[in-house]
Amino acid sequence: MCGIIGYVGTSPALPYLLKGLEQLEYRGYDSAGVAVMEKEGPRVVKSVGSTVRLREKVSGQSFSGGVGIGHTRWATHGVPSEANAHPQWAGSLFIVHNGIVENERILREELEAGGAVFLSETDTETIVHLVHREMDGGKPFGEAVRTILPFLEGSYSFLIAHADPSEPLIAVHRGAPLLLGTCSHGVFVASDMTAFPGEVHSTLPLEVDDMVTIRSDGRFEILSLAEGKARVPTLVSRSHQGGHGKGEYPHYMFKEIGEQPEMLDRLLSRRIRTERGRLSVGFSPEAETALQGAKRIRIVGCGTSFHAGLLGKYRIESLAGIPVDVDVASEFRYREPILDPATDLLVLLTQSGETADTLAALRMAREAGVPTLSLVNVEGSTAHREADASIFLDAGPEFGVAATKTFMSQITLLTLIALFLAPEVRLAEKEGRSRDEILSDFLKLPMLLDKTLSLSTGVTAMSRSLEEVSTVLFMGRGGDFPLALEGALKLKEISYIHAEGYAGGELKHGPLALVEKGTPVVSLLSPDERLVPKMVSNMKETLSRGAFLLSIGSERFQEEFSSVSSLSLALPDCSPIFFPLVAAVPLQLLAYHTACFKGYDVDRPRNLAKSVTVE
């Protein structure tokens, strides 16, 4: 969850550390800190809050050291404070750490019994004290680090530096992502490639159980702890992605919502191809082989990815006729699912490719001999490297903690997978149209998203009505049910309003008890002739209990839903297959504007981080 960065080179380290931490801040922003190894001695600066405060603290100070480490924190052990901020230290050793040491309490008690004095509540401090103890016993730096690793339980990575700049910087990957980056003036190591400056020309994703020694002259060595021998690295050229800044936008989230039409157009142009005058869906040969061999699809994801998976289930089962199970990744790994290598395909949804529970599900499936396919946004991530095949989300960088572009990409790709697998006869039976005709409409969707973005006035009015409420209910039927779950998640993530999503048909089975005079209920209505009358009936049931009704539906059925709504938004008409993609935009904007009206930091919601790399 935290973000770490280290640098060894001939240039001053501090500017690179600060800029890198700003790029890593989506991983945690409770506190931040740096340690730079200066000739006259190490200098540590830490602050509570965002990296802006850290930059303010170092302003006006002179740092020239070419070895340094930095950290931006999402708190797991100990409250956000300068004492608990990283780097932590013991003697002449300084450490930054991402992950959790699960047996920290036992180790701390043992160290304290031996005379160690702890200055923080963090599990991180146990690591540096253990290394310090080994070095006090006469072991060299690198050997001391290797010696203590078997005593640490959990999933983590850390960077540890010595006060003597001539000593190497050591990086250890034991489950939380780390990458190396090289340039003409030095070597970087960080949690994410976004932390690397533009001059980094080559990168290397580290493997689990890698220990890297980076020397002051720029040489580095990788030791595979699992194999007990050096690993020969294969550096890859770095592909640069633009658009990292907010530009003229007030928040990353607002910028990323606005990028979705262009992103969708790019994604569809790469996945929909023309063959013999007809449109078809194309993936890599490995992905197509994995999909075509599946008799049952198991989808796992967390948060927004789980909701995307639920929508994928609706589309794949309906259009392709293949059974689909969807699990929250953190539950899948512990509920002992029955996996069948002869029939199953595990599809993993993960923006970062580093989500701890999703990776655990991947490894469980591989151990059972089940093929795996990752839908992932980060090339070179663990999910990309370990899955049998991958389909990239192609969403570009997403810095807002609340997922927007990546959700759009996930539900787009899952719909394309459904169309790829669907027999023509079944499409004709279910939709009354051919694959070519459906894909032709799909290619028009970016234009519909553009039109939807222009409806901001209606969305803003809805958001203003939610500014002072304490709870909001979302409901939908069919593919709109997962969308209701996602709309509720977005609202609570960034506006801190309690929100829940329900299937419309479940209203009378409990949720209706929550409705009283003034309770906002957001209804989603795909242009499905079977479901619209039933949803309108559900809306009337809440209205008769005093609900304040907000509705988002297709302009084709505007008269039906707007007549019973206090506020309504009519979206451009489209097939029910595509409605969730169009309706996702106003739901994202609804959450965004509500949070802005309440005065919250949309890009840094409390207690959350973008990439969940711990269990």
What phi, psi does 510 have (nearest 5°)? 145, -55
Is the distance from CB of 571 to CB of 452 less than 8 angstroms? Answer: yes
Pairing of strands 471-476, 3-9: unpaired
Helix/strand/coil (H/E/C) assignment for every residue in 274-330:
EECCEEEECCCHHHHHHHHCCCEEEEEECCHHHHHHHHHHHHHHHHHCCCEEEEEHH
Distance CA(485)–CA(308), nearest Å, equals 10
Helix or strand run (H / E) with residue 173 = strand 169-174
What phi, psi does 364 have (nearest 5°)? -65, -45
Around Cβ 314, how many Cβ atoms within 10 Å? 21
608 sits in the region (left: phi over 0; alpha: psi -120 to 50; else beta) called beta
The single-letter code of the amino acid at 561 is: F
391, two tokens: 């389909």
Residues 6+ apart with CB under 8 A from 547: 473, 515, 518, 519, 520, 521
Residue 534 bears catalytic tag: no
Q: Residue 95's closest CA among 227, 204, 4? A: 4
In a 3-state reduction of DSSP, which class is residue 342?
A: coil
The side-by-side arrangement of strands in the sheet containing 88-90 is 88-90, 93-99, 156-162, 169-174, 210-214, 220-224, 229-230
Q: Which of the residues 2, 183, 574, 596 is marked catalytic?
A: 2
Is the distance from CB of 301 to CB of 348 less than 8 angstroms? Answer: yes
Question: What sign does the CA torsion over 596, 600, 603, 609 have?
Answer: negative
Pairing of strands 498-503, 471-476: parallel
18, two tokens: 């600060």
Q: How many helices (H) and strands (E) does the chain have?
A: 21, 27
Distance CA(29)–CA(603), nearest Å, equals 10
CA distances 313 to 299, 320, 347, 376, 587, Å, are 8, 10, 11, 18, 21
What phi, psi does 449 have (nearest 5°)? -65, -40
Distance CA(609)–CA(286), nearest Å, equals 32
Question: What sign does the CA torsion over 522, 463, 479, 339 have?
Answer: negative
Is the distance from CB of 236 to CB of 380 less than 8 angstroms? Answer: yes
Residue 302 bears catalytic tag: no
Is the distance from CB of 421 to CB of 268 less than 8 angstroms? Answer: no
Q: Which residues are known catalytic residues?
A: 2, 610
